[in-house]
Chain A
Amino acid sequence: DAGVIQSPRHEVTEMGQEVTLRCKPISGHNSLFWYRQTMMRGLELLIYFNNNVPIDDSGMPEDRFSAKMPNASFSTLKIQPSEPRDSAVYFCASRPPRGGDGNQPQHFGDGTRLSIL
């Protein structure tokens, strides 16, 4: 089974540039989550979608960040304009529909390491 696929794995760009991170969730999963991980702040939930609809974006740091899920198999996280403090590892995770005990685990991609110079 293919897991959650994120691209690119690494991105280095200059301050002010637009950055787009991509995620392909596991087929059949209906929830998708974007996280950011830094040494200082740990793992932060940015936004999550259910059935392609954004449910909670309270973790999105500011208006420079936006996320979309145009269909069940693709999501993007965009930063425009990017700043050095956005440097982090960004993870996407997906989760299957509720079943069994109703508490399905999230499945994580291997992340995008973003460096803004």
Chain B
Amino acid sequence: AQSVAQPEDQVNVAEGNPLTVKCTYSVSGNPYLFWYVQYPNRGLQFLLKYITGDNLVKGSYGFEAEFNKSQTSFHLKKPSALVSDSALYFCAVRDREANTGFQKLVFGTGTRLLVSP
């Protein structure tokens, strides 16, 4: 079964510093990976995805993610954190049923990012 792991429950970073939120994956076949962000009292919002091609994927709000096949990782990054980036971040992997082709996402447990002024 496809799965992702987010090893950190919380990440703390000072505003202006670079941030990294970690995600590792376990899949059979090619990985299709996603990052979502959840602000308080809101639903999840799509940030970016990796399907194929360049290992560095750029997304919304200045975020990017680096796909590393040898380390089975897909870490989310931003060069300079903002206080407004404080939120809950979810990594997800596509799970596709071989017989029907139907697709769903398997989400990680989430990482809370706190950016201090």
Contacts and interface: CB of A to CB of B under 8 A. Distances in A.
Pairing of A with B: yes
Interface of B is mostly: strand
Contact of B107 (A43, A55, A103, A111): A43
Interface of B: 32, 34, 36, 41-46, 49, 51-52, 90, 94, 100, 102-105, 107, 109-110
A91 B94 CA distance: 19
12 contacts: A4-B43, A42-B109, A43-B110, A45-B104, A45-B105, A55-B102, A56-B104, A103-B51, A105-B49, A108-B45, A110-B42, A110-B43
Contacts of A108: 36, 43-45
Given A42-B110, A43-B110, A55-B102, A103 B43 contact: no
Interface of A is mostly: strand
A93 interface: yes
Given A56-B102, A103-B51, 20 more contacts: A33-B104, A43-B44, A43-B90, A43-B107, A43-B110, A45-B105, A48-B102, A55-B100, A56-B104, A91-B44, A101-B51, A101-B52, A103-B32, A103-B49, A103-B94, A105-B34, A106-B105, A107-B46, A108-B45, A111-B41
